[in-house]
C-alpha cells in the first residue's frame, strides 16, 4: 500500500464497519491488521496524512522494535507494578511471536547493546512498510487525514458506536482506541482518546511525561553540551536519602542532562520533585572506589610531575570536561600538579565520584518519548483489552496506563496489546 493510496477517500456517512480502529500508530496498525486477518470488515482512521509518524522517529529512525527478553515475567517487570497486566498479551503475542511476525514478512533483525532489537538492514521505514503490507493483506480500509472528533453510542437501540469525523458520522459495531499518549504531540499524539474514554466513564490516571530529558540548575552543563559519558552511574537523592541508582550512558545538553539513564530515571525525578529536595550525584568512575581512585590520581600526578594541574587530567577525563572540573574544584589550573595539597586532592576525588547536579524540571511532553499514566488498567480486561465499563470498546498501546524503560519495551507493549485487541474484537 503506497502512502498516496491511503489518502484518496474519506469515510462516508452511511459506511458501516465491524471494527473501527482509531489511530494509525504501531498499536492501531497491529490491531487493525489482526482483526482483518480474521475476515472482518475493518477501517483504520488516522488524523495525519500518513500512518506511523511517530514510529518513523523511533530508535533515532532505526526503530528499536522490541527487547530480546523472552521471559514474560521479566519483561513485564520493566513496567513496574502495572506490568502484570501484560502477562496475557505477552503470552499471546510476545517477543518471539513479534520477531516471527516481522521476520516472516522479510525483516532481518539483530540484537544490539542492552538486548535492543533493531532491523539489521533498513530502518523504521521497513517496519512501517511491513505493517502497511499487513493492512493491505486484510483489505483494511485505511482513511488518513481523518480526525476523529468523538465517539458515542448509537441512539438506535443497537450496541453500535457512532464515530464522528469532520466528514461525517460512521457507525461500527466495535471500536479499538489506539490514539497513543500526549508525548511528541507534533506526531499527532495529543491525548484525544483520554477525553473520549473519560466521557464514556473511564478513569484516566494523570498523564505525565516519561523518558524525558531533565533541565538542571547547573549552568556549567552548557559548556559540555554534546558530551556523552559511557559507563557512569547516576544516583538520585530525595531529602538526603538515596532512592535510586542507574548505570550506563548519560548525555549533557545545553539545558541539562539526557541519555538512557537520565530518561529512564526521569519519571521518578518528576515525582520526587513534587515531594522534596532532589539532587543527583554523578559518579564518573564507578569502577573505582575512593581509595583506588586516589591511587590512580596520584599515579597520574606523579607521571605528570612538573606539569600544570590543568594539563594533568587528560588520562582521567574527556577533554571538554576538564575545564569544568578544574573550575568546580577551585584548584588553580596553573598550579604545578606536584604542589596540589591533600585536601585539594580530596576535593577533586569528590567531584569524580559525586559530581552534583540539581534537577529543576523535565522538558515536558514535547520531548517525552513516552507518556506515563492513561486509561486505568483496572477497567480493562487484560485477556482481551476490552473495556470492563463499555461493551465492545477496546484499548491498546500507549493510551493505557503503562510505561516501560527505553530498550524496545514500549513498542512491544503496542504490538502485544494491539494484536490481542484486534483478535478479541473479531472473535
Ligand atoms: C522520539 C521517539 C523515539 C522512540 N523510540 C522508541 C524505540 O526505539 N523503541 C520503543 O519501544 N519505543 C520508542 N518510542 C515510543 C513509541 O514510539 C511509542 O510507544 C509508540 O509509538 C506508541 O504507539 P501507539 O500506537 O500507542 O501510539 P502513537 O504511535 O502515538 O500513535 C497514535 C496515532 O493516533 C493518531 N490519532 C491521535 N488522535 C487521533 C484522532 N483524534 N483521530 C485520528 N487519529 C488520531 C495519531 O496521529 C497517531 O498516529 C519512541 C518515541 C519517541 C517519541
- Per-residue pLDDT tens digits for 245-295: 999 999 999 999 999 999 999 999 999 999 999 999 999 999 999 999 999
User: In the predicted model, what is the mean pLDDT of residues 132-145?
Assistant: 97
Q: Which protein residue has the closest C-alpha to ligand 1 atom 13?
A: 58
Q: Which of 66-75, 162-171, 177-186, 198-207 has the lowest mean pLDDT?
A: 162-171
The fold for domain 3-208+371-426 equals FAD/NAD(P)-binding domain (3.50.50)
Distance 179 CA to ligand 1 centre (A): 8
User: In the predicted model, what is the mean pLDDT of residues 114-120?
Assistant: 96
Determine the atom of ligand 1 nearest the C-alpha atom of 398: 26
Question: What confidence category does residue 234 fall into, taking pLDDT thresholds of 50, 70 and 90?
Answer: very high
Q: Choose which residue among 118, 146, 180 to substitute to test ligand 1 binding: the one with the highest number of ligand atoms within 8 A of its C-beta.
A: 180
How confident is the model at residue 154, as a pLDDT?
A: 87
Q: What percentage of the chain reaches a pLDDT higher than 90?
A: 93
Q: Which protein residue has the closest C-alpha to ligand 1 atom 19?
A: 410
- Secondary element (H or E) of residue 350: helix 342-353
How confident is the model at residue 379, as a pLDDT?
A: 98
Q: Which protein residue has the closest C-alpha to ligand 1 atom 47?
A: 188
Distance 398 CA to ligand 1 centre (A): 7
How confident is the model at residue 13, as a pLDDT?
A: 64
Cβ–ligand 1 distance for 184 under 6 Å, the answer yes
Q: Choose which residue among 30, 172, 189 to substitute to test ligand 1 binding: the one with the highest number of ligand atoms within 8 A of its C-beta.
A: 189
Distance 210 CA to ligand 1 centre (A): 14
For residue range 82-94, list pLDDT tens digits in order: 999 999 999 999 9
- Locate the domains of the chain by residue range: 3-208+371-426, 213-363
Q: Transcribe 99-153 into DSSP letters.
A: HHHHHHTT--EEEEGGGEEEESSS-HHHHHHHHHHHHHHTT-EEE-S--EEEEEE
The three-state secondary structure class of 16 is strand
What CATH code would you report for 213-363? 1.10.8.50
Longest dimension (CA), the chain: 91
E strand segments, 196-317? 204-210, 214-216, 228-238, 241-252, 256-258, 278-283
Q: Which of 8-17, 57-66, 196-205, 409-418 has the lowest mean pLDDT?
A: 8-17
Instruction: Tell whether pTM > 0.95.
Output: no
Cβ–ligand 1 distance for 64 under 6 Å, the answer yes
Cβ–ligand 1 distance for 403 under 6 Å, the answer no
How confident is the model at residue 4, as a pLDDT?
A: 40
For residue range 284-342, list pLDDT tens digits in order: 999 999 999 999 999 999 999 999 999 999 999 999 999 999 999 999 999 999 999 99
Cβ–ligand 1 distance for 405 under 6 Å, the answer no
* C-beta separation of 200 from 393 below 8 A: yes
How confident is the model at residue 9, as a pLDDT?
A: 66
* C-beta separation of 35 from 141 below 8 A: no
Q: For the chain, report the end-to-end CA distance as a whole number of angstroms.
A: 26
Cβ–ligand 1 distance for 370 under 6 Å, the answer yes
**Mean confidence (pLDDT) of the chain:** 95
C-alpha cell at 180: 497513543
Judged against a pLDDT cut of 90, whether residue 172 lies above it is answered with: yes
How confident is the model at residue 2, as a pLDDT?
A: 47
Distance 26 CA to ligand 1 centre (A): 7
Amino acid at each position: 500500500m503506497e502512502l498516496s493510496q491511503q489518502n484518496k477517500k474519506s469515510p462516508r456517512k452511511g459506511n458501516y464497519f465491524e471494527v473501527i480502529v482509531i489511530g494509525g500508530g504501531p498499536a492501531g496498525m497491529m490491531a487493525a491488521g489482526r482483526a482483518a486477518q480474521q475476515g472482518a470488515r475493518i477501517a483504520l482512521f488516522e488524523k495525519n496524512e500518513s500512518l506511523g509518524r511517530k514510529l518513523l522517529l523511533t530508535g533515532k529512525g532505526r526503530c528499536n522494535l522490541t527487547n530480546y527478553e523472552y521471559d514474560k515475567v521479566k519483561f513485564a517487570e520493566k513496567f513496574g507494578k502495572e506490568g502484570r497486566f501484560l502477562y496475557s498479551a505477552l503470552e499471546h503475542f510476545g517477543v518471539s511471536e513479534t520477531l516471527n511476525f516481522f521476520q516472516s514478512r522479510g525483516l532481518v533483525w539483530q540484537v544490539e547493546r542492552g538486548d535492543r532489537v533493531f532491523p539489521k538492514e533498513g530502518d523504521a521505514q521497513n517496519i512501517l512498510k511491513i505493517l502497511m503490507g499487513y493492512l493491505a493483506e486484510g483489505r483494511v480500509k485505511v482513511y488518513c487525514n481523518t480526525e476523529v472528533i468523538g465517539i458515542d453510542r448509537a441512539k438506535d437501540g443497537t450496541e453500535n458506536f457512532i464515530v464522528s469525523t469532520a466528514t461525517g458520522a460512521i457507525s461500527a459495531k466495535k471500536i479499538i482506541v489506539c490514539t497513543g499518549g500526549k508525548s511528541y504531540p507534533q506526531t499527532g499524539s495529543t491525548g484525544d482518546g483520554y477525553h473520549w474514554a473519560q466521557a464514556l466513564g473511564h478513569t484516566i490516571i494523570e498523564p505525565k511525561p516519561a523518558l524525558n530529558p531533565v533541565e538542571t540548575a547547573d549552568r556549567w552543563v552548557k559548556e559540555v553540551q554534546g558530551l556523552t559519558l559511557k559507563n557512569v552511574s547516576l544516583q538520585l537523592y530525595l531529602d538526603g536519602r538515596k532512592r535510586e541508582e542507574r548505570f550506563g550512558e548519560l548525555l549533557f545538553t545545553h539545558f541539562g542532562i539526557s541519555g538512557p539513564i537520565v530518561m529512564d530515571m526521569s519519571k521518578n525525578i518528576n515525582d520526587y520533585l513534587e515531594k522534596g529536595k532532589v539532587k543527583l550525584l554523578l559518579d564518573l568512575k564507578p569502577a573505582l572506589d575512593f581509595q583506588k581512585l586516589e591511587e590512580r590520581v596520584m599515579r597520574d600526578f606523579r607521571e605528570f610531575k612538573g606539569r600544570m594541574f590543568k594539563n594533568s587530567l587528560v588520562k582521567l577525563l574527556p577533554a571538554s570536561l576538564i575545564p569544568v572540573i578544574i573550575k568546580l574544584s577551585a584548584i588553580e589550573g596553573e598550579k604545578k600538579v606536584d604542589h596540589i595539597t591533600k585536601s585539594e586532592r580530596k576535593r577533586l576525588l569528590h567531584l569524580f565520584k559525586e559530581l552534583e547536579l540539581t534537577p529543576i524540571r523535565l522538558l515536558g511532553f514535547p520531548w517525552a518519548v513516552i507518556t506515563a499514566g492513561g486509561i486505568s488498567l483496572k477497567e480493562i480486561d487484560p485477556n482481551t483489552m476490552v473495556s470492563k465499563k463499555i461493551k465492545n470498546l477496546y484499548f491498546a498501546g500507549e493510551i493505557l496506563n503503562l510505561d516501560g524503560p527505553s530498550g524496545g519495551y514500549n513498542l512491544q507493549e503496542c504490538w502485544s496489546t494491539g494484536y490481542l485487541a484486534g483478535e478479541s474484537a473479531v472473535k
